[in-house]
Each structure stands twice: as C-alpha cells, then as structure tokens.
Chains A and B, each alone.
Chain A
Amino acid sequence: MAKRGFSGVVIRSYGARDHEVTVVGKESLAPHFVRVRLTSATLFQDAVAVPTAWLRFWFPDPDGGESEHQRAYTISSADETTGEFTIDMVLHEPAGPASLWAKRVEPGWTIMATSLGSSKFDVPEEPPAGYLLIGDSASIPAVNSILAAVPVDVPVEVYLEQHDDADPLVPLTPHPRARIHWVPRQGPASLAAAIEARDWSDWYAWAGPESGSLKHLRTRLRDEFGFPKSELYAQAYWYYGRAFGKRRGTPEPEPAAAPEPAPAAAAPSGPAVRGAWRAQGAGRLLAPLKRTLILSGALQAVVTLVQLAPFVLLVELARRMLAGAAESTLWTLGGWALGLVGAGTLLGGALTLWLHAVDARFARDLRRRLLGKLARLPLGWFTARGSGHVKQVVRDDTLALHYLVTHAVPDAVAAVVAPVAVLAYLFAVDWRIALALFLPVLVYVMTMTVMVVQSGARTALALRWSERMNREAAGYLEGQPVIRVFGGAAGSTFRARLDEYIGFLDDWQRPFTGKKTLMDLATRPATFLLLIAFLGTWLVSSGAMDPVSLLPFLLLGTTFGARLLGIGYGLSGLRTGLLAARRIQTTLDESELQVRAGPAAAAAEAPGTVVFDRVDFGYRPGVPVIHGVSIVLRPGTLTALVGPSGSGKSTLAALLARFHDVDTGAVRVGGHDVRDLTADELYARVGFVFQQTQLVHGTVHDNIALALPDASRERVEAAARAAYLHERILRLPRGYDTVLGPDAALSGGERQRLTIARAILADPAVLVLDEATAFADPESEYAVQRALDRLTAGRTVLVIAHRLHTITGADQIVVLDGGRVAETGTHDELHAAGGRYRQLWDAGANRTTARAEATL
C-alpha cells in the first residue's frame, strides 16, 4: 500500500475495508459539475447512506504514476438494497486526480472506496427555528442532502461561496422555505462577512466551506452571533490554494501566491445581534443551583482526597517502621487513619444528605413552576404534543434532574479528582515510574481508537438495528393472534430479521474479541504491578531510588489505569441530566396565553354571535395555515366547515375555542375579542366536543358537574338523561357516586356521552363540534347521536364536517380550501352552484350509495 502514501498506511492500520465500486454512468449537471452513478455489492455492509454521509475514493495518479490519491465525496443518492449510489463532482481546470478521473470516466471503470469516517445529519424531533447552511460548489451535494431532510415548514438560509461563474448553475434541491445567496469570493473573510447580521436565536448552523473561509465563519457565528457549540457544525471541505486536500474535498489547484484581494470592506448589514438558544436552557434552569453545585463539587473533591489519604498514611507508616520509630508514633498514625476514615465517611454522608435536601426544595419549586406553566399554555400546545411529551418532561426529566443534582456532579468530580490527585502524588514521588504508567493506558486508548474507527458506520447501524428490532418485535407480539392462526409465513419474516440482527452483531463484535481481551489485560492491576515491580527492582537495586518511594506506586499505581479510564463514565451522567434540564427550560419558556387588558369592546353583538374577522394563522412563523378568513355565525344557527383534509377546518374551529391565538385579524364572540376575555369568561360562552374525551379523576357526578361543582343531583341526572347516559350510570356499582377508574371503566361511546352531558350542564351559547364524534364508536353511535341532538339544540354551532351527508341541513356551509374560504352557502345553493362543494359531494356520492346498498 506504499502507493497510497502515509494516509493510506494510517487508514489501513485502522483496518478500513476497501470496496470495489463500478461506474454505471455519468451525467453532466452543470458545465463543471458531473454526477457519477456507481454500484457496489459490498459497500453498504459498512456504509450508511444518511444525509451528508461521504466515502473516501482512491483516484489514480493523473501523471500515470503508481501512487493513488484519496479524496472524499458526499453520497448524493443511494439505494442501500441494490448497492447503487451517486456522487457529484466538481471539475477543475487544471484538473487534479479526481477531476481528471471524473472527466475521463466511463461505465465499467472500477475504483476502490471505503466508508471510514463519514458524517451524518439528523433533524431532531423538535427542529430548530431554522437552518443556516454555508458552503460552496464542493459541499453542494452535502447541502442538497440536508435540504432534502429539513421539513418543509422550517426556514433555511443557504450561503454559497462562488468561485466560478458557472457555480450558480449547479442544481440545488428545492425547498419551499430556502433562500439561496451566492457570495462571490473576494478573500477568506468575504463569505463570513456576507452572512446577514440578524438575530439567529434557536437556528442551527452547518458550514462546509473551504478552510480559510471557515476560520472567519467560526468567529462570526460563534463570537458575534452567539451560536452555541452544540448548534454549530463546521468542517472544511477543502483547502484554498493547496493542490491536494489531505483529508477530503475536491482540490482546487490555484497558484499559492495568488494575491488575495483585501477582505470585503464592511459587513453588508448592521451590527450583529447575539441570539439566545434553547440549547442553553439547561444553564438557565440550573442557574439558582450553580453555587450549590460548585460547592458540592469542591466538597466532593475534599471527600475524594480524604478517601485516598489512608494510602498515603500507609506509606508514612512504612517510612516510620523502617526508621525504627517508637511504637507510640505508629499508633498515632493509626489514630489519624481511623480519624480520616471516619471524617471521610461523615463528610460524604453529610454531602449526600445536603444535596438531597437542596434537590428536594429545587424539585418542589420546579414542579410548582411547571404546574403554573401548564395552566397558562395555549390548549393547542397539548394537542400538538400529546401525553407522551408531557410525561417525558414532567416525570422523566424531573427524575433525571434529581440524579443530576444529587449524584451526577459528585460522581463526575470524584471520577476526575481521584486520578488527577493520584497522578500528581505519584509524579511528585518519582516521575520516571509515573510516566511509565501511561504505557498500558496508551495501549488501551490506541486499541480503542482502532475499534471505534473499524466500527465506523456500524455504531450508527447498531442503533438503527436496535430501533428496528424494537419495532419489529412489537409487531411480532401484536401479530401473535394472526401468526397463530396462519402460522408459517406470517411469522417467518421476524425470524429472518432476528437472524439478520444476530448476524450483524456477530460480524461486528466477533473480530473485536482479541482487541477487547488485549484492552482488559493491558489495564488490569496485575499488569501495572509487574511494570512497577520491574522498574522498582531496577531502580532500587541500581541505587537510583529510595525503596520507600516505590510504595505509593505499589499501593495506588495498580488501579491508576482503571481510575483514569473511569473519567469518561463519570462524566456521562452529566450529559443526560443537562439534556433533561434543557427540555424542561424549553417548556418553561413556551409563550403563554395572554389576556389583553385593552378596553373591553362594547358588546354590540348578541351573545351567541361569532365573527371571524380577516383571520390569519400559522403554526410556525411564515407558514400560514389560515388566510384572511371572515365568517359570521348568527345566534342559534349551525355552520359547517367543509373541505379536504389539510384545508384548515379543524384549525379554524380550534381558533374559536382559543387553542391558539390568531396572527392577525380577530375572533369575536358576542362582540368580545376572545383575547380580551379571561379563560373563564371565554369558556362560559364557548364549549367544545371533540373526539378525544377527558375524564378527570373523581365520581361520575363530579365529572358531569365539572363546570358547576355545586349543581344538584337532579340537574346532573337531567343532563345525563339528555345525553342518554342515565341508565348506564345506574348500572355502575355505585351509580353517580362511582369513582371512574380501571374497575369502573366506560366504553368509548359512553365517555363521549359523559362529556356531552358535561357540556349540556355547562350550557354555553356557542358550541364547537367535531362531527366525527358521532361515528367514533359503532357500539353506541345511535346514543351519541341522540345526545348530540340535545346538545346542539338552540346553540350557535360550528361543526367540523367529515361526511357531507350529515350537514346537509346546516344553515351555512363554509367550504375551505388551502386555508381560504372557497364558497359559502346552504347545501342546495352550493350543490346547484357546481363549485368546489359539488366536487366534494360528487366524490363522496358513490360512497354513500354503496353504503346504502350494503345496508339493504
């Protein structure tokens, strides 16, 4: 492998596997930009095609020499099952090895590639406010793969440095919210200077430009805009003015002496604003504990030192014994040892107790804050997240914080202080042996590094496998009835998958058994002991060392390796806790519903009137879901919202119930803007019945009388009768006094009717209703429908309609399309008009007739 030079040797020593790749085809995407289609039977055993993943290729020497040149290219598309993939290459003039190869390449050519290293890009569950992508033609394939992965409603700013007139012709992956800026290169600082000076709070930055520009970019992003480390990925994709990029990237041969134009005069926009990131939320949440945690760390350091002290005392004991000290001095030492042991234990115990007390107070305040927050968040926050997220934050994250405060800091401090203190002590005693102790550690670290590199993509693959097996096993268990009835084939895919998974683990881990054994043998105490004994015997017998100096090594040096390697483990506890703290702070930072203290508008409209007045709304800034909708609901009338899914009908209805606040315009109930009303004032006027039902912990009576806790039993029973639930309640073990729970569970339709009874008793003038409620449970469809009839009677009703035939009697039908009102009218009017409504009706008609046939 000499022909591959030093980097080839290094890569080989990591055990990277070469894969033969065959060229299938080539197409030109721009005058100086080609896409090469490749295939390999084995490559994707090692490589994973995730966004921004790249491969190293060995290109032949352009001068026809023996040597091969390594360059890395991003995988622009891939089919892992067939092994086909593409890479996009920039052609340079004069051409380097890669450019030359790309120019000449023809189908059938082969080349070697390895997946050693590589990177990946993930969009987190809760995406950042936006993505700032920076690069140039060499990193466009990576930028493209990111653009393809970013959700369509997240804004993206792309800054590309232009080196060639043809650069803007290179195709970019379209993204509806991406803005592209081409920045002609004037010098290494011009790209950084071109980035808009604005508030980049909660954005994520990905930068893959050439190395010189990257230096300036880092300064601008981190120091001027305040991007935290966790929200900034920066890697040079090539080196300006250097013919051969060592690590990766396309070479851009350019005379090294080319005069660099002076840096661009001034930043094109105003002064930079330092943003604030959710990623820094952990710090804010824990700010009140900062001093406590620092103090606890300091105390833990003392405790750790005290726990090491007995070993030092043993050395002193030996020294005194050798010097023939009086018996009493020895016993004094013993006394000291006992005292230190006692003090260490007491101090450690006191520290733990204190931290628990601090944590208890902190957790109590935190829960109180969370409770307050939850009571003031818009209802839409809950529907958007679901109960899993709330549980994660309220239950799991507060528990993780408990460990962070009570254990993680002392553990981390102890893990760091102990080896450092031991090392300092040992170096002070004899630096030669102390230095030698690093030898086994070095063996461990090097073996570990080789293993990590060899694992490469498999570490990520293992994670994917474990997620996949979890899903497949869940399916296998869920499918048990089917598998038992149909046997054989139905269960065999899971078996096959299990075999594949076991095969994967086997292939991955079995070659490492030797290395793992080596790591264990190198760092075990017996090895250190032999090393120390050898050096000690040598130094002592040659008179170069006092034998007493050997004792600290024999007592503390043997476990030095284990202690040093424990640092990483000790610190890992901090990370989990900080992530939890960050999530909690994010929740505490969510914006709350505000009640405007503005002048109460004169209620010129009747109490049951609802007005949507030029309403605009979007879940994310810049992505409107409702555009300029104006509707009037007259008191006591029924208005139906109709439209294809995604037309905004559920969103519009949710705005009336103030699950969210409008961006512009207003929703008024009885002349009052809903934002001027307190929650209690609003919900005294507006009620809602959606598909999800919520029963509170308590009796049936309490649940029905939720809005009127003082309501008499007669009124509660009347509401239950109206909701067709009275008979069912009487059959419960304790009637209206039955506490609802696992022992006295109601079916879906019964729960539905209970919430309807609740709404009947609450008696709001305006009602928002999801029509799907009426068909949620065929077991009690009929009863739910009768209950709804009683509930809707005499109110202003806004209904989200899924089946058109259920709303033909509506006083007003509003047809929504793409968040705008397409048509308004009665069924007869709209049916006759032959517009959007007629289309929807005709599309649904064959279904209705088929339904009728099935019934007859």
Chain B
Amino acid sequence: MIRTLLQLLPADRRRLAAGHAALTVLGVALRAAGAVLLVPLVADLFGPDPGGAWPWLGALAAVTAAGWAVDTAAARIGFDLGFALLDNGQHSIADRLTRIRLTWFTAAHTATARQAVATTGPDLVGLVIYLVTPVAGAVLLPVAIGLALLPISVPLGLAALAGVPVLLVAFWTTRRIGRVADRTAEDANTALTERIVEFARTQPALRAARRAEPARGLVGAALAAQHGATVRLVLLQIPGQLLFGLASQAALVLLAGTTTALAVRGDLGVPEAIALLVVVARYLEAFAALGELTPGIETATTALRRIRAVRDAPTVSIGASARPGTATGAPRIRLERVAFRYADDGPQVLDGLDLTLEAGTTTAIVGPSGSGKSTLLALLAGLHQPTAGRVLVDGDDTAALAPDERRALVSVVFQQPYLFDGTIRDNVLAGDPGAGEDRLGHAVALARVDEVTARLPDGERTAVGEAGTALSGGERQRVSIARALLKPAPILLVDEATSALDTENEAAVVQALADRTTPRTRVVVAHRLGSIRHADRVVFLEDGRVVEDGTVEGLLAAGGRFADFWRRREAATGWRVVSAGGSDT
C-alpha cells in the first residue's frame, strides 16, 4: 500500500513526504508528553497542595500548543500531498490505460479501471490527512506513552509496551475476521439470491413452457437446503469479531490492576497511581481511535487496490524502429505462422496462420461467428500482438516499430464506432487533424456524412454528445467511416457491423472500400454481399484456419463453403413471414 502510494507521488514531493513523516512523529511525541505530564499534574491536585499543579498545567498548555502548531504544519503538507496524489495519480492511470494490453480488459478489469480513473479522486485527496497520519498516530502514540512511562514505573511502562503488539494483533485479527464475515455474508446472499434472479430472468420462458410453478418449487427447495449451511458459516465468524473489544477492555483492567497493585505495595504513591490510571485511559484511547478509522481504511485500501491493479496490468511491448523513408504507396502485408489466444489458459483463436495480402488489393474475410475474423483484423491493426509468429508490412516486423510508426500504418472502421465528445467535424478530423477542406469534404461525402449534417441545424458543427450518444447508431457509423477514410494510412481495415445496417450505411461501407484516392491495401470483415462483391479476393475462415481462398467468381464456381454462404445470404434478403404451409423447405 505504502509502495503504491509513494509511486503515485510525483518525484519532487517525496522529500515533502519525509518532512510530513517527521512532523507526524514529532506531533505524536508531543501528545505523549502531554499525557505523561498528567502524572505530576494530577498527583499535585490530589496531594496536599493543589496549587502546585499550576506550573505543570503551564507545561501541558505549552506542549499542547506546540502539538497544535506541529500538527497544523503536518496537515498543510498532508493536504498538499493529497492534492499532488490526486493530480499525479489520476494522470498516471489515464496514461497507463492507453498502454495496457487490450486483452486485459475483461468485464471485471474494465470495471476496476473505470473506478480507478473516475472515482478514486476524492479518496486520494484525503488519503494522507485522514488515513496515513491518524493511523501512524494511533500506532505510535501508545508506544510513545509506554516509553515515557518507563522512568516513572518500569513495570507499568513495560506492560504498556507489551500491550501494543497484542492489541494491534487483536485489532488486525478482528478486522480481518470482520471482512471475511462480510464477504461470507455477501457470498451467501449472492448464492441464495442468484437462483431467484435466474428465476426472474427466465420467467417468460418458464411461463410459456408452463414450468413456472415446478421451477419455483425447485428453487425454493434449493434455497432451503442452502440456507442452513450458509447461516452456520456466518455465525462461526461472530466470536472472532469480539476479540478486539475484549482485548482492549482486558488491557484496561490489567493495567489498572498493575497500577493498583504497585500502589498497594507502596511502590507508588496514591496520587501518582491515580494519575497513572488517567494515562492508561489515554493509552487505550489511541486504539479506540484506530477502530474508528476502520471504514476509512477499507475505502482507501479499495481505492489503492484498484489503482495498483491498473499499474500492474500487462502493457504492450513497444518497439523503437521506424519504417524506411522510401516506403510509400500501398504495402504488402504478410502474416507468418501467427497464433493468438486471449488468455494464457484460453483456447487458440488463431494457430499458425499464414496469409499474404498483396499491395493495393482488397480482401474480404468471411466465415462463421467465432472463426477468428475480428481477431485477425485486430492483429493487423496492431491492437493485439500475436502470441507467436509475425505480422510483416513490406517485410518489416510490425512488432519492432515505434508506436507512432505502427499507428500511422493503419486506419480502421470499427464495429462499435466510438466517438469522442466534440463536433462531427472534430471527430472526422481526428483521422487527420491537418487535413484540408477538400480532403475533409471528400471523406465526408464518401461516407455520406453530408446527408446526416444536412439534416442537422448546426451541420458538421453539431456536437455528438458523450460517446456520440446524440447521434443514432447508423449516423455514428458513418462519421467513423469518414474518420477512417481521412486518415492517410496505407492500410484500411473495415469491421462491418453485424447489427442490421440501414441501406445508406451499407452503401457508405461499399463506397469507402471502393475509394481509390489513397493507395491502400484493404481488408474487410464482411457479412453482406455488397461489401464482399468489391473485394479482389475472398478468404473464408473457419476455426482460425483458411479453408477457402480465391476470387468471388472463382469461389462461387467452386461451389464450396463460400458459395453456400453466398446463396444463403441471398435467400435471407428476400425472406417473408409465411403461415399455413407456405414454407419453402
């Protein structure tokens, strides 16, 4: 935790952190001194001459005031560190996110990353001042009081010092058991409710199948069976949670008992003994404060854990070489024994794929779902890196290219067209911020964005809203096509949407592929005949392997898997709902 914290601090604040630590220790020492000053003060009050307490009170006031001053200074630094953590921490996470391997972003990791960048801010600000300082104080204060007691009474001082580790372990254990208990209760609840949620989710199917009542009986029985076991599990956790309370109460009785015993034996005067009882109470106060910090500790630990998860996520390997300056025009792309899997223990999506895409050609990748089409496209785009084999562009290994060089190679039309919050024009220009009006106009017209902007009062200056939500799915798609066309990259990759496209969008995809203003090597993952028809070559993929490869006409004539696919697509387009034996099968 401390390591993550220090990593998040900008380098120039590390010394400030050391200063803060020193001030914190000094503040604790002053507080301990104040506690121990009570001994002569209270002893005098209980003694024959209460007036003798005034000088001690003066000392106490001085020490307390010094403590305020030191702690105010520490707090100022603490807040400063907090704001530095906020600024540096948030930015370093945002930077980091752009270098993490895309395969890392599972649903759970994505949620963690989102929370790390969006919700940990306020926690980071208060981290030092509300957490590090108080926790350090709560742990150090009893030690300091124990040490200060040694000159007054060695046995009591030793007992107090011995109590510190015992109470800390009791505190830690209780916290741990409490956390386990919470998790057990939560897991038990999830286990018990999961089946109810499932029951609710499948209601239409269950009712249509007249199975709602039997299923309800089954779920009910399962719940009843599970119930007893989980309750026992939760109950077992309870005694452990009382440990810390018991330990601190016992410590109070034991330390007070020791003091009393010392007084009875005559080692201590009665006024001193009474004063020491007060010091004992102060000693235990620190542990109670620790208990009150528990919720804060949980929140901060969660925040830091999320941040650490992002910082520890695997990043993409980065090359440094540049493409030779002579490389112009459409490149030849070659995949050499490329293998890929999403997780180390996951199935091979591609296994030893060899494929050469000639310069300036348009290739359609076709195949059933799960055949590896989109994975292949992501490898070409450089979004994933092959687990084995190489992707070569004009003979250069893309893995060795510097990030900017690699990025400059490809332009992509994505299935889920993400737009950023800005105008339509800004989003198209993201493809090439320096593009002139003529090139912009050309891309906008080809992608039929002009039809969209013509309908909007603000035209191409219309804001697309957060993540483009002010536009319809089809309109977003067209803006993303224009963006991809504008980017002057020699490789254009198109992942055609699987969801139903309207016809204008289909035409926009076809036009984008047919555009010849920039010499490009094109690859399209295609579902529709319109986009396949314009390809020079069709590669039919199945289970990560190329099963058919040729021109559209050639493959249609061969009558294989592709011809079958083609026929079915054509039939699907003209389908009509029929009844009363009108079926054509």
Contacts and interface: CB of A to CB of B under 8 A. Distances in A.
B475 interface: no
A688 interface: yes
B205 A490 contact: no
A779 B76 contact: no
A360 B227 contact: yes
A498 B117 contact: yes
Interface residues of B, number: 162
A510 B82 CA distance: 10
Q: Which of A525, A536, A555, A684 has the most CB of B within 10 A?
A: A525
A462 B410 CA distance: 40
Contact of A484 (B98, B189, B190, B510): B98
A537 B41 contact: yes
B223 A485 contact: no
B342 interface: no
B500 A806 contact: no
Nearest to B503: A850
Interface in A510-546: 510, 513, 516-517, 520-521, 525-527, 529-530, 533-534, 536-537, 540-541
B460 interface: no
Interface stretch (B6-14, B149-157, B246-254): B246-254
Interface string B500-512: 1011101100100
Nearest to A386: B201
A566 B292 contact: yes
Contacts of B378: 481
B185 A481 contact: no
B238 interface: yes
Interface stretch (B67-75, B325-333, B355-363, B388-396): B67-75
Contact of A489 (B288, B429, B572): B429
A707 B211 contact: yes
A194 to B, nearest CB: 44
Nearest to B409: A485
A395 interface: yes
Q: Which of A372, A690, A707 has the most CB of B within 10 A?
A: A707
B506 A854 contact: yes
Contact of A810 (B204, B273, B528, B577): B577
B350 interface: no
Nearest to A501: B121
B577 A799 contact: yes
A153 B366 CA distance: 48
Nearest to B246: A345
Contact of B67 (A513, A526, A781): A526
B256 interface: yes
Contacts of B421: 472, 493, 497
Interface in B316-375: 368-370
Contacts of B129: 516
Contacts of B370: 747
Interface string A478-490: 1111111111111
B585 interface: yes
Contacts of A352: 238, 241-242
Q: Which of B282, B420, B572 has the most CB of A within 10 A?
A: B420
B61 interface: yes
Nearest to A323: B270
Interface stretch (A82-90, A431-439, A789-797): A789-797
Contacts of A356: 231, 234-235, 238
A318 B43 CA distance: 12
A334 B257 contact: yes
Contacts of A155: none
Nearest to B480: A482
A554 B200 contact: no
Contacts of A638: 577-580
A793 B578 CA distance: 7
Nearest to A473: B118
A851 B579 contact: no
A788 B572 CA distance: 12
A502 B87 contact: yes
Interface string B461-489: 00000110000000000001001000100
Given A341-B250, A778-B528, A854-B528, A792 B277 contact: no
Given A367-B193, A481-B412, A782-B571, A797 B420 contact: no
Nearest to A854: B530
A730 interface: no
Nearest to B69: A521
Interface in A772-808: 774-775, 777-783, 785-786, 788-790, 792-797, 799, 801, 805-808
B422 A851 contact: no
B433 interface: yes
B558 interface: no
B256 A317 contact: yes
A486 B435 CA distance: 14
Given A341-B250, A356-B231, A356-B234, A781 B572 contact: yes
A474 B107 CA distance: 11
Q: Is the interface of A mostly helix, strand, loop or mixed?
A: helix
B577 A788 contact: yes
B523 interface: no
Interface in B196-241: 196-213, 215-216, 219-220, 223-224, 227, 231, 234-235, 238-239, 241
A638 B583 CA distance: 13
Interface string B102-123: 1001000010011001110110
B466 A472 contact: yes
B524 interface: no
A636 B86 CA distance: 68
B568 to A, nearest CB: 4
A318 B274 contact: yes
Interface stretch (A22-30, A253-261, A283-291, A374-382): A374-382
Nearest to B74: A517
A847 B502 contact: yes
Contact of B197 (A310, A391, A853): A391
Q: Which of A353, A493, A780, A797 has the most CB of B within 10 A?
A: A493
A755 B205 contact: yes
Interface string B50-80: 1101100100110010011001100110010
A472 B118 contact: yes
Contacts of A218: none
A369 to B, nearest CB: 11
Contacts of B530: 854-855
Nearest to B133: A520
Nearest to A692: B204
Interface stretch (A240-248, A463-471, A624-632): A463-471
A793 B110 contact: no
B24 interface: no
Interface string B391-419: 00000000000001001001110101110
B64 to A, nearest CB: 5
B193 A349 contact: no
B577 A797 contact: yes
Nearest to B570: A855
B90 interface: yes
Contacts of B527: 778-779
B186 interface: yes
B276 to A, nearest CB: 10
A114 interface: no
Nearest to A689: B208
Contacts of A486: 430-431, 483, 487
A348 to B, nearest CB: 6
Contacts of B61: 530, 534
B23 interface: no
Given A398-B193, A847-B503, A505 B200 contact: no
25 contacts: A307-B245, A321-B273, A337-B253, A345-B246, A349-B239, A356-B238, A357-B235, A374-B200, A379-B203, A466-B119, A468-B466, A474-B118, A479-B467, A482-B412, A487-B404, A517-B76, A525-B285, A526-B64, A529-B38, A530-B60, A550-B45, A793-B580, A807-B576, A848-B503, A851-B503
Given A534-B57, A779-B369, 9 more contacts: A317-B260, A372-B216, A382-B200, A473-B118, A475-B420, A517-B71, A555-B281, A638-B578, A696-B198
